A = this chain, B = another copy of it.
């Protein structure tokens, strides 16, 4: 993970349609969602959604997989992990006690 990949990932998340799409895919987890179902659910035009999913894909935040005529998209948790790891690199050096609240929040109720 380098600075270019990381800024491109954050740029991908800096726009409402894409952030919501990724949140939907994060909620969908391993089930993923079909591209068309995402655009229907979000009431976004087909080509706009396609372009935005493409940005998320190239940023390494989602994966996809053809399924008949449709294409199913999934959140890429591994890519997300890499981005956050780059951001938080060496955070503990300065102030270990600051990390815990962050961890707790991400941890949710697993």
Query: Which residues from chain A sit less than 8 Å from chain B, CB to CB?
Result: 3, 6-8, 10-11, 13-16, 19-20, 22-23, 26-31, 75, 77-78, 80-82, 84-96, 98-103, 105-110
Are the CB atoms of B27 and A94 closer together than 8 Å?
A: yes
- Are the CB atoms of B96 and A110 closer together than 8 Å? yes
A10-B14, A22-B87 are known contacts; what are 8 more A-B pairs with Cβ within 8 Å? Answer: A10-B19, A11-B11, A19-B87, A26-B90, A77-B98, A88-B105, A99-B110, A103-B107
Closest to A31 in B: B94
Chain B hits for A92, CB < 8 A: 108-110
- Residues of chain B contacted by A77 (CB below 8 angstroms): 95, 98-99, 101-102
Say how far A76's CB is from chain B's closest CB, in angstroms: 10
The verdict on A3 contacting B16 (CB below 8 Å), with A109-B92, A110-B92 known, is: yes
A91 to B77, CA, bound (A): 10
